Amino acid sequence: MNFSETLSIVAEIMPDRVATVFDNDCTSFAQLDHQVDLIASGLIAIGVKPRDRVAILDVNSDRQVKLIYGIARAGGISVPINYRAKPSEIEFLLNDCEASVVVVGEDYRKTILSIEANINHHIKLVSFENNVFTEKWIPFNDILKQTDCLHPKIDSTDHAIILYTSGTTGRAKGVLLTHQSLVGKLLDNAFPDIENSEVVLLSMPLYHIAGIHILLASIYEGRKLVIQRQFHPVEWLEIIGKHKISRSTLVPTMLKMILEEDFFKEANLSSLQMITYGAAVMPLKVITTAINKLPQVSFINAFGQTESGSTIAALTPEDHKLTGSSADLEKKLHRLGSIGRALEGIEVRIYSNESIMPSGQIGEILVRSEQIMDRYWNDNTSSSLIIKDGWLHTGDMGYVDEDGYIFLHGRLKDFIKRGGERISPNEIESVLLQHACVDEAAVIGKPDNHWGETILAFVIKSSNSEVTEKDLIIHCKKLLASFKKPEQIIFVETMPKNSLGKILKTDLKKLYLN
């Protein structure tokens, strides 16, 4: 099934229900489906053929939602680009995916013009703006003026989207996902529900796998989707009250910003029922604060990767209920540091030295499901290294406890090798974050002639804290084996991060080791 058909199904069942809200514009499911038809026909009219790549560079909007479905209906492959990317990065992505069309928002037109001469192939330029600037640009409204035409037949195994990874360990890779990857699990576990009155807030960017899944699930399940251009904590709080939002998905940094916002105390959050979080490690202090400050809200930790195509494991609302005996509470607090248990239909292995590891033993997390990526675009070498015999090698290290909860222990590439010992930076970071005076922590290996590597930690102190390097090293020594304690701690004001709050350790190494 072409994933755009999920919209047509809902439009048939509940044509007049509001599908999307953007600013003051509401679009019903029937209107959305009709406009997607027009966009698909318009793209075909300007030369888009099945499997052609159509890039999108803009913040979230209802136009981008329509375009993503329209590209799929035309048989093309969407390539949403991170609007925070630098011109050189955008140039690389457009050349790498060989986009035949790029659709650009008002704020990014100059960026495209600045790199146009460096694009190695012919590319059509489409502007979301209404004005025609030069004969090079096709106004998006002109695409909507095309009459309906016959759309190509697309199979569920055909490619639907290329999502470029953030490039935290090097040059970004294009993750190629099929229509099956995107909606196979959704079709098996959900249905259009005419009784569903939930309102979903989309704050995650549509260049991220989480943003795409929020969009697809909301549309297919018949929910109203309120679209936020870019996340801002005050606006997020205002939208929750104004539109009576039921559900939202956030990364840990977003949730922390919301909880610390002065307006939080005044905001009307009575409608909010569910917050899903993921995409980065959730500090225990942040999630326990959220549980206490938002007692009416259920929380889900959804763990996945772009390469996995969908959520691998989840920590359920029940896991977030901090009730019971002292022993139960201790166990639940410990499990809040996990990513939960593997979802139905997802096979998980812990693998090390070509062997499956038993419960409690650390190894690389391997995943097998129908939703994993097909391959990396234009990178067969990396594809063959990450997918072997149908198993996705996630690059994440971790272990599974006796009850099936999966605990992360950092990235395989980040593990520190000190005097023959393999040390998880994640374990040390978790201990540092237990200290009341630590807001953020990141740990890397520092080259050393004697040990091979020594442990270097970066810490952002809590406001007004006078904690010292010695204090934190003593704290770590109390809770960790001696060889795992940091030899050096550097206090910093900020950490280099990608757009979703993941700390960029490669940047830390460049800044402090070179």
Structure tokens at 377: 């675009």
In this prediction, residues 17-45 reach a mean pLDDT of 96
pLDDT at 514 over 90: no
Which DSSP letter does residue 9 get?
Answer: H
Q: Please identify, among 141, 176, 211, the residue that sits at the C-terminal boundary of a domain.
A: 176
Summarised one tens digit per residue, pLDDT across range 228-244 is: 999 999 999 999 999 99
pLDDT confidence tier of residue 166, bands split at 50, 70 and 90: low
Buried/exposed 491-500: b ≥16 CB within 10 Å, e otherwise: eeeebbbbbb
Boundaries of domain holding 157: 26-176
pLDDT at 387: 96
CATH number at residue 495: 3.30.300.30
Q: Tally the domains of the chain.
A: 2
DSSP string, 107-174: GGHHHHHHHGGG-SS--EEEESSSS--STTEEEHHHHHTSPP-PPPP--TTSEEEEEE---TTSS--E
Structure tokens at 162: 């290329």
Residue 250 lies in a domain: no
**Nearest alpha carbon to residue 55 among 120, 105, 106:** 105
CB 108 within 8 A of CB 57: yes
Q: Please identify, among 158, 176, 194, the residue that sits at the C-terminal boundary of a domain.
A: 176
pLDDT at 133 over 90: no
- What Å distances lie between residue 183 and 25, 63, 80, 229, 407, CA to CA? 27, 21, 18, 24, 27
Q: Which of 126-140, 230-244, 447-461 has the highest mean predicted lDDT (pLDDT)?
A: 230-244
Summarised one tens digit per residue, pLDDT across range 351-366 is: 998 899 999 999 999 9
pTM of the predicted model as reported, rounded to 2 decimal places: 0.88
Residue 362 lies in a domain: no
Mean pLDDT of the chain: 93
Residue 34 lies in a domain: yes
Residue 424 lies in a domain: yes
Residue 44 lies in a domain: yes
Which position has the higher pLDDT, 150 or 43? 43
Residue 447 lies in a domain: yes
Residue 360 lies in a domain: no
CA distance 99 to 68: 14
Residue 35 lies in a domain: yes
271 burial type by CB count under 10 A (0-12 exposed, 13-18 middle, 19+ buried): middle
Structure tokens at 510: 């460049």
CATH number at residue 167: 3.40.50.12780
| Residue 202 region by backbone torsions, left for phi larger than 0, else alpha for psi between -120 and 50, else beta | beta
Q: Please identify, among 136, 159, 176, the residue that sits at the C-terminal boundary of a domain.
A: 176
Phi, psi of 6 (to 5 degrees): -65, -35
- Residue tagged 């010695």 (tokens): 470
User: Could you count the other beta carbons within 10 Å of the beta carbon of residue 274?
Assistant: 16
Phi, psi of 311 (to 5 degrees): -65, 135
pLDDT at 226 over 90: yes
